């Protein structure tokens, strides 16, 4: 048997095309006073972005970092300002354009969704920033079916995490594994066993519940025997009305079905076979005799 031929070479062949020569192409000069930089700047300008920072309790929040970003295409420029004791803040002498603003205070409060808006070249744009608490133990419940149906079994899965705000205003959540969690404090639910139970490596725990009536039914949670929370569960729905099933037929299979007969009554017709009696009287014949006498 002849030996197999060697495999083809995978090395690229040298190009025989000469590279283009641009040495003779003249470049236009940049006009004086212009720039070729694509860096986005905040100012100087004649616009102002200002506002107030409000904490989770609705009161002004002091010492909060407010990040103001000016957006141009996919590039941006930014500046950070700190709120005053009365919660006010301002970014002065900025250029107009599209802006994104968010606020936070490490490690406890942050604005999860930033504000987007457009500022005119000479406009003073006011904006209020609302912060949410994102610190400590955070339970996130989910039920199926959603909403629960009164009188029927419901699955409840709980995600338990420890949340905090980092120095850049990003909310970090770490799963709480091995935590002891117990449901209770509500008379509108029947909770299946085991209760209490322990969260797994992902910080999750699960129960089977039965909602005892339609509407909002409170349900409490205790973590590690100390922290207590009220779970935000959807209102229970009323059970659907019972379905009426028609009674099965009693006809034995194979037996022909007899339809009810329809009887039409016609008036009786009487036919008489008796003919009327006809009386025939004999005809009277008068005979005249002739005599010989004149």
207-266 tens-digit pLDDT = 999 999 999 999 999 999 999 999 999 999 999 888 877 777 666 666 555 555 555 555
| Whole-number Å distance between alpha carbons of 255 and 100 | 81
To the nearest whole number, what is the mean pLDDT of the chain? Answer: 83
pLDDT for the residue numbered 293? 47
- At 146, list the tokens: 């959603």
Contact partners, residue 116, CB within 8 Å, separation at least 6: 98, 99, 100
| Whole-number Å distance between alpha carbons of 221 and 228 | 6
pLDDT for the residue numbered 119? 98
* C-beta of residue 99 within 8 angstroms of C-beta of residue 49: yes
Top-confidence residue, 285 or 29: 29
pLDDT for the residue numbered 15? 54
| Whole-number Å distance between alpha carbons of 11 and 1 | 30
DSSP SS3 for 120: coil
| 175-195 average pLDDT score | 94
| 15-41 average pLDDT score | 58
CA distances from 106 to 34, 126, 136, 164, 172 (A): 42, 24, 12, 8, 11
DSSP state of 236: B
Whether the pLDDT of residue 35 is over 50: the answer is: no
DSSP state of 267: P
Query: If pLDDT is split at 50, 70 and 90, which confidence band does 287 have?
Result: very low
What percentage of the chain has pLDDT greater than the value 70?
Answer: 71
Q: 196 preceded by cis ω (within 30°)?
A: yes
| 1-26 average pLDDT score | 55
Give the containing element (helix H, strand E) for 36. Answer: none
| Whole-number Å distance between alpha carbons of 134 and 44 | 35
E strand intervals along the chain: 47-54, 65-72, 75-82, 88-94, 97-105, 109-110, 115-119, 124-130, 132-133, 136-144, 153-165, 171-175, 180-184, 189-191, 197-198, 204-211, 220-223, 227-230
């Amino acid at each position: 048997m002849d030996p197999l031929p060697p495999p083809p070479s995978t090395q690229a062949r040298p190009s025989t095309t000469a590279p283009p020569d641009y040495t003779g192409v003249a470049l236009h000069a940049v006009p004086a006073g212009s720039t070729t930089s694509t860096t986005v700047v905040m100012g100087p300008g004649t616009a102002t972005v200002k506002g107030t920072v409000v904490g989770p309790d609705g009161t002004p929040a002091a010492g909060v970092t407010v990040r103001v970003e000016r957006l141009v295409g996919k590039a941006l420029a930014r500046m950070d300002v700190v709120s005053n004791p009365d919660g006010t803040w301002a970014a002065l002498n900025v250029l107009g354009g599209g802006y994104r603003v968010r606020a936070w205070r490490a490690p406890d409060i942050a604005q999860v969704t930033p504000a987007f808006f457009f500022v005119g070249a000479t406009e003073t744009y006011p904006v209020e920033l609302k912060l949410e608490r994102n610190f400590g133990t955070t339970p996130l419940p989910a039920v199926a079916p959603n909403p629960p149906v009164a009188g029927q079994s419901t699955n409840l899965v709980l995600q338990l995490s420890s949340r905090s705000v980092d120095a850049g205003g990003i909310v970090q959540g770490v799963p709480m594994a091995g935590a002891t969690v117990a449901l209770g404090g509500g008379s509108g639910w029947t909770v299946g066993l085991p209760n209490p139970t322990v969260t797994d490596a992902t910080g999750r725990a699960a129960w089977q519940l039965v909602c005892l009536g339609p509407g909002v039914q409170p349900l409490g949670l205790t973590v590690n025997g100390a922290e207590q929370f009220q779970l935000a569960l959807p209102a229970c729905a009323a059970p659907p009305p019972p379905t009426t099933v028609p009674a099965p037929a009693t006809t034995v299979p194979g037996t022909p079905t007899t339809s009810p007969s329809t009887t039409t009554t016609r008036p009786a017709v009487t036919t008489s076979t008796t003919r009327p009696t006809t009386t025939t009287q004999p005809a009277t014949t008068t005979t005249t005799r002739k005599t010989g006498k004149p």
